[in-house]
Amino acid sequence: SMVQDPVRTLFAAPVSASFLRIEPTAHHGHCCLRADVLEHEEGPPDRLPEVVVLGNFSADDPFEVEQQDQQDQANYKFIEEQHLAMLQARLSSSPGKLQAEARHVEHVRGYEERPLQRQALDDIPVCALDALVRSSEKDEGYEVAFMRQLLRWFKHDFFAWTNAPRCEHCGSGDTKTIGATQPTPMEKQYGAGTVEVAQCSNCGMQTRFPRYNDPSKLLETRNGRCGEWANCFTLVCRALGYEARHIHDWTDHVWTEVHSDSLQRWLHADSCEAALDAPLMYEQGWGKKLTYCIAYARDHAVDVTKRYTRKFDELLTRRNDFTEKQLQQAMQAINEFAIDRSVATLPEGDRESRRTALQRRAEVEAKELEGGGTDTAKPEEQVGRTSGDAAWREQRGELGANNEAKRQALELSEKGVADAAQSAAGADSTPAQAPSEVTPTATEAAAAAAQQQRPSSAGTQALIKAKFAEYVASGLAPNEAAVRALQDVKGNAVASTSPAPS
């Protein structure tokens, strides 16, 4: 009776349980819900597993699409065909490149499929991430704090960067891309438009690297370059209840944006770099010469280039594929198509409120983009690209805008830019994390949560890691494994008789 709006309950696997207590709580003013449950499976009699319950992170986001009967589905299909025909007519006089942009709306719509979101949720260690958020002393909204931990987990624990694929014949990592070939019918089924071919320096054999574009397949392969990273991460964000955008940079990069209710704006989130709210990193850190940055969500599309530059007048000289008026007309047509099609799937009572919310946000964002933002770059925005082989980054002109940016990029290679931000903030808060350290894994997240409740020790952390490895080996998902490892150690621990050294 305390829950007025629908909420999403996340379990690593089906469980039989009796709920003992559900209570509202808060994190820096953000309303949350916590639950204690008693599982019916065998285990310690006093064990009360923790369940993290997440609703949508945006109050304006309708929770579920209303289940449609066959007649409703037929009507909706007819309406959708009308919308598509209108879009095609409106784009008929646009340049070919702009006509092709409409396909991206269809791609992001795929993130809304419930089975796909369920597949993603099964891999996310929600409880461990929530424990890290609750132990953080940073004064920010829950959705922002959770996103920081999600980015770190995705980069360091879940997805892997692929310069060239490991040899599938001898297992050697000493391979080099020598060309490309056409995908097989099976590879095409998962959206692979091309297949890179790498040759092994050890055995001389060749290995295929399909560039998959199907997020379901990427949840299995968990590797690639920025296209695969942003594609899979945007799905992960949607599965967790974030309103998310897929951002296309026409100078060959992609990333994500998520909406923050506590900040009332969209936040840049680059999973390749574990970067949050650092939009100037490409221009001022990497040294990119941006042209067009277009955002696509399930129910809108917008040109967000101004968020990523402080040199828009200079940038305009490079935007010469078509006129600005042609771009504005095409984006307006695509945006209205995305809104109309998405709103049509909502329950009648939610349609007008969603349109109003989108209009209000669009007006706020337009003022933000026109305002230009601050000219002072954050520490993490002054670092060159950290993801990918150094020679590859240098070849693309993304290793760094200056010598200092390049130095930091090489020092933080494959670690992301979070360390740069922590180092800058260290003098005013907690000691900075050394650049050589790796961000906490799901196992270490459980250990970090444990340290909030008892004196820390290397032995305790080692025990948690050992328990975690044991549960993962038995087939448990990382989320459940981390929680069980923490609970087992907590259950066996005896209350400390003296405080830990300061």
As a whole number of angstroms, the distance between CA 327 and CA 320 comes to 11
Letter for the amino acid at 79?
I
Q: Is 237 a catalytic residue?
A: no
Query: Would you say how long the chain is, in residues?
Result: 502
Q: Which residues pair with 461 in a beta bridge?
A: none
Q: Are 274 and 151 in contact (CB under 8 A)?
A: yes
CA 134 remoteness from chain centre? 20
Picking from 340, 271, 331, 399, the residue whose alpha carbon sits closest to that of residue 81 is 340
Most distant CA pair in the chain, distance: 77
As a whole number of angstroms, the distance between CA 37 and CA 31 comes to 20
Q: Are 161 and 225 in contact (CB under 8 A)?
A: yes
Burial class (CB in 10 A: 0-12, 13-18, 19+), 376: exposed
As a whole number of angstroms, the distance between CA 16 and CA 40 comes to 6
Element (H, E) at 256: strand 253-260
Q: Is 299 a catalytic residue?
A: no
- Which among 226, 232, 272, 293 is annotated as catalytic? 226
Q: Are 256 and 271 in contact (CB under 8 A)?
A: yes
Letter for the amino acid at 472?
V
26, 70, 245, 343 from 75: Cα distances, Å? 42, 9, 28, 14
Q: Are 120 and 219 in contact (CB under 8 A)?
A: yes
**CA gyration radius for the chain?**
24
Enumerate helices (H) and strands (E) in the chain, giving the number of each.
18, 15
Give Cβ neighbours of residue 273 (< 8 Å, ≥ 6 apart). 155, 281, 385, 386, 387, 416, 417
- Which among 27, 156, 246, 253 is annotated as catalytic? 253
As a whole number of angstroms, the distance between CA 191 and CA 113 comes to 16
Q: Is 226 a catalytic residue?
A: yes
CA 161 remoteness from chain centre? 15
Q: Which residue has the tokens 């299909």?
A: 77
142, 148, 448, 462, 481 from 445: Cα distances, Å? 17, 13, 5, 13, 12
- Which among 249, 261, 270, 299 is annotated as catalytic? 270
- Which residues are known catalytic residues? 226, 253, 270
